[in-house]
Structure 1
Amino acid sequence: MTNLLINAVVGKNKDVNDPKIRGKYAALAGITGILLNILLFAGKLTMGILSFSVAIIADAFNNISDAGSSIVTLLGVRLANKPVDKEHPLGHGRYEYIAGFIVDMLIILVGFELLKGSIEKIIEPVLPNVGNATFIILGASILVKVWLFFFYRKIGNTIQSAPVKAAAADSLSDCIATTLVLCSALAARIWGVQIDGWAGILVAVFILFTGLKAAKETIDLLLGSTPDPAFIENIYEFVKGYPRIVGIHDVMVHDYGPGRQIVSFHAEVPADSDINVAHEDVDKMERDMHEKFGCIVTVHLDPLVVDDPLVNELRALAENAAKDVNETFSIHDFRMTKGETHINLIFDLVMPTDCPVCAKDAEKQVTEKIKNLRPECACVIRVEHPFV
């Protein structure tokens, strides 16, 4: 069913880097969510009023908030696809993340309101009057939400959309919530037990947990989170296809919304390379990466001495010293300058952000290990943290 809808709306062109194609995917997710959630709201609200069940009524309003979330998703993607302008030269892609955050806040709001109503129901209990139609509506709702979960998940992963992924998580929590409401209705029908308010509290907790978890993930995107390790691995593998590039470091990924990434890194080339040839290689690599990954790429050339025995020896010494201090340490941008009385070793020391050793102590320990073996060496170290 999902593939049938995608093929009917999106068509044969599935290039998600094309804003128009992304828009079609988002429109399909949004409109489908609006229609189905409005139908579920109408059915549950009717049954909830007729049966005097606060849990069913709350579940109904949860569905109408989901319809509102779908509208926000549609609006967010539409705004994100606006072309660049003078005030926003990097585009409007983060509108989609903002839309996702609004959806998360709506989910949390529904959870709080449901929690409040459920507590009131416990204080002043009324036994629900549940009929067969109620069970049919609730059962159908669970099936619809299960399908929506897989539907949203497929589209969210395809276009890497924060609000659509949030809708998928919300649909899964709705399945659990409606199942609890169904159990509450069964208890009232079979045993005459009033657990409506308690079921409502459990539903509220699930909704709040889902909303808070999704909000954290969206805030991470807005603040700037660690890029996908698979994407970074693909970059390293891609660069191996350029034999004159010795290696890369200082990889950075700036995320300005789905499909709007800027990648930068330093490419190491032999110091005796022809600068024009090296520049041509880097230009080609930038164009090829843009074509393959759909991102803007900026590469900085770093000359690397590879055929000087003394440089190679001292570089290995610095690398080993860093590893001796901490296995997670590494170095790059190594240079050597010889004076009359000493040798300057200039390099960057890379240490993890969660390393227990402070930057100054790390620099001091690495310097001491090098000087113990080569007293004539003076170290000029810049400590930095990885961005990926």
Structure 2
Amino acid sequence: MDNLKDKTTEKWIKIGIFANIALAIVKGWAGLVSNSSAMIADAMNSTSDIVSSVFIFVSLKIAKKPPDKKHPYGHYKVEVIASMVIGLMLGMLAYQVVSTGIRIILRGNYSTPGSTALYVAVLSIIVKEVLYRFTYKAGLESNSPATIANAKDHRSDVLATSATFLGILGARMGYPILDPLASIIISGFIAKMAFEILMEATGQIMDESADENKIKEIEEIAEGVKGVVNAYDIRMRRSGSVYLIDMDIVVPSYYTIKEAHDVCELVREKIFEDIDNTKEVIVHIDPS
């Protein structure tokens, strides 16, 4: 990531941290004064967001550290670890929220929430949607899995708080069971987002290959270089925010070692130039 993208990403992570602190306090207060279990569950969600956002911010700092003797390939995968931690935290939160909602329903101790919780829910939806849009854009531009996971967390909050709003509104209209039911719905959104984040992070930990379109693009770039007969056995994996590429190319058998090496360097230069966020390209040369 270049410096501008780094700064933009870090800026929105910082804004997200302060926004989550404010929302956790306001939601907790609104849940207590309005006697809303759904809003209290939402406040718990915002509290976990504070921890995950701080963890992401730290992981981005570590990921930028240069390679060293213990980590010759860099520290990029710390972002993947951060994504997995976020996924696990969301999973635990989903369990806690759903168990609380079910317990309230089984006990039958419903209550009608106050109107304050409704206003806070609307405020939270607006703030979180803005955070999602800008953080997701920054994550895509920097190719940062941790930042994208953080953005998806914001979007899950939008959906969750929307359920909170509907639950509180329904309870105030004479259906108090809808408030704890909203808590259960919230847990479903949180669990779904946790699963998606964990699956994506697991794919990177397991060095899952990039999609076929990327592989095809690299093949076309390589075969467009003069002297390349064909390119094959292209392997591309993601390490945090960067791509690592291994491939084979065939050059004419009459090429000298220097000529073959020059072709190899041209292929590497073109890939670095055309494929964003490429950190390493290893090219093996075969004679035709």
TM-score in terms of structure 1 length:
0.69
1:280 to 2:262 alignment: yes
Amino acid at match of 2:254: D
Corresponding residue number in structure 2 for 1:194: 177
Matches within 5 A, 1:1-388: 17-18=1-2, 20-259=3-242, 261-293=243-275, 294-304=278-288
Cα distance, 1:100 vs structure 2: 0.9
Cα displacement string for residues 71-118 of structure 1 (whole angstroms, at most 9, x for unaligned residues):
011011111111111111111110111011111111111111101111
Residue 137 to residue 88, structure 1, CA distance change in 2 (3 Å): same
Shift of 1:168: 2.1
User: Alpha-carbon deviations, 1:1-49, whole Å to 9, x = none?
Assistant: xxxxxxxxxxxxxxxx33x444323311211111111111111111111
Alignment-mate amino acid for residue 289 of structure 1: I
Structure 1: distance between partners of 2:180 and 2:134: 31
The letter for the 1-side match of 2:189 is: F
Structure 1: tracts of 5 or more residues without a match: 1-16, 305-388
Q: Report 1 or 2 for greater relative contact order, CA contacts < 8 Å, sequence distance ≥ 6.
A: 2
Residue type of the alignment partner of 2:258 = N
* Residue 291 (structure 1) shift: 4.5
Preserved CA contact (<8 Å) 2:13 2:135: no
Displacement after TM superposition at 1:152 (Å): 2.1
Could you tell me how far apart the structure 2 residues matched to 1:198 and 1:173 are? 17
In structure 2, distance between residues paired with 1:237 and 1:151: 33
Q: How much does 1:217 deviate?
A: 0.9
Bigger Rg over Cα: 1
Does the CA contact (< 8 Å) of 1:23 and 1:81 recur in 2? Answer: no
1: distance between equivalents of 2:239 and 2:154? Answer: 27
Give, in angstroms, the shift of residue 286 of structure 1: 2.4
Task: State the shift of 1:126 in Å.
Answer: 3.2
The structural deviation recorded for 1:288 is 4.0
* CA distance in 1 between partners of 2:271 and 2:196 (Å): 33
Checking the alignment, whether the CA contact within 8 Å between 1:25 and 1:159 is kept in structure 2 is no
Q: Is the 8 A contact 2:111 2:176 kept in 1?
A: no
Matches of 1:89 and 1:81, distance apart in 2: 13
Using the alignment, how far apart are the partners of 2:163 and 2:47 within structure 1?
19
Deviations 1:321-360 (A, max 9, x none): xxxxxxxxxxxxxxxxxxxxxxxxxxxxxxxxxxxxxxxx
Distance in 2 separating the partners of 1:276 and 1:94 = 35
Which deviates the most, 265-274 or 101-110?
Answer: 265-274
Unmatched tracts of structure 2, length 5 or more: none
Change (3 A) 1:128 1:151: farther
Question: 3-state SS of the aligned residue for 2:250?
Answer: strand
Aligned partner of residue 251 in structure 1, secondary structure: strand
Give the letter for the 1:265 counterpart.
Answer: M
Structure 1 SS opposite 2:113: coil
Q: C-alpha offsets along residues 113-134 of structure 1, whole Å, 9 cap, x if unaligned? A: 1011111111223333433322
Deviation at 1:169, TM superposition (A): 2.0
> How many angstroms apart in 2 are the aligned matches of 1:131 and 1:72?
34
8 Å contact 1:26–1:73 — kept in the other structure? no
Shift of residue 150, structure 1, vs aligned partner: 1.3
Distance 1:146 1:240 in 2: 44
Deviation at 1:232, TM superposition (A): 2.0
Q: Percent identity?
A: 28
Superimposed CA distance per residue, residues 185-204 of structure 1 (whole angstroms, 9 cap, x where no aligned partner): 11221225332222211111
User: Is the partner of 1:295 in helix, strand or coil?
Assistant: strand
The 10-residue stretch of structure 1 (107-116 or 186-195) with the greater mean CA deviation from structure 2: 186-195
Q: Which amino acid aligns with 1:301?
A: I
What corresponds to 1:371 in structure 2?
Answer: none
Structure 1 residue 292: Cα displacement: 4.3
Q: Structure 2: which amino acid aligns with 1:57?
A: I
